Amino acid sequence: MYNLLRELQHASPDIEASAIVSVDGLSIASALPQDVEEDRVSAMSAAMLSLGDRISSELGRGTLNQVYVKGDEGYVILMSIGEEAVLTALANNRAKLGLILLDMRRTAEALEQLI
């Protein structure tokens, strides 16, 4: 799984960090810089996924596929990996969101076979 994260970051150089997190907020695998706390990323990813799922459901938007947050310094993007995990990526503000989402979808599909 770690190798798939590294391949994702190689395919999309604007992705600065990535992780696979369980829906319970536990880290499964990560490719994070040393200054990024793995536990914090995992917990926040699970919280964002839970809130996004609730919003999507209660507002009649169907099953949640992805959540993203855009800040001044870039994006935090979450994409479902089946029902048990989420792929999280941190991308800089120069990232082309469409290309990032495409690469993340391919990675999520490959990871779904492993999880």
Gap between the terminal Cα atoms of the chain: 9
Model confidence, pTM: 0.92
H/E stretch holding 22: strand 15-22
CATH number at residue 60: 3.30.450.30
Domain extent, residue 86, equals: 2-114
Instruction: DSSP for 72-115, please give it.
Output: TTEEEEEEEETTTEEEEEEEETT--HHHHHHHHHHHHHHHHHH-
Per residue of the chain (115 residues), what is the pLDDT tens digit?
A: 999 999 999 999 999 999 999 999 999 999 999 999 999 999 999 999 999 999 999 999 999 999 999 999 999 999 999 888 999 999 999 999 999 999 999 999 999 998 8
> How many residues in total does the chain contain?
115
Query: Exposed e or buried b for every residue in 55-69, given b needs 16+ CB within 10 A?
Result: eeeeeeeeebebbbe
What domain count does the chain have?
A: 1
Torsion, CA 83, CA 88, CA 93, CA 95, rounded to 10:
-70
Query: How many Cβ atoms are within 10 Å of 99's Cβ, its own excluded?
Result: 13
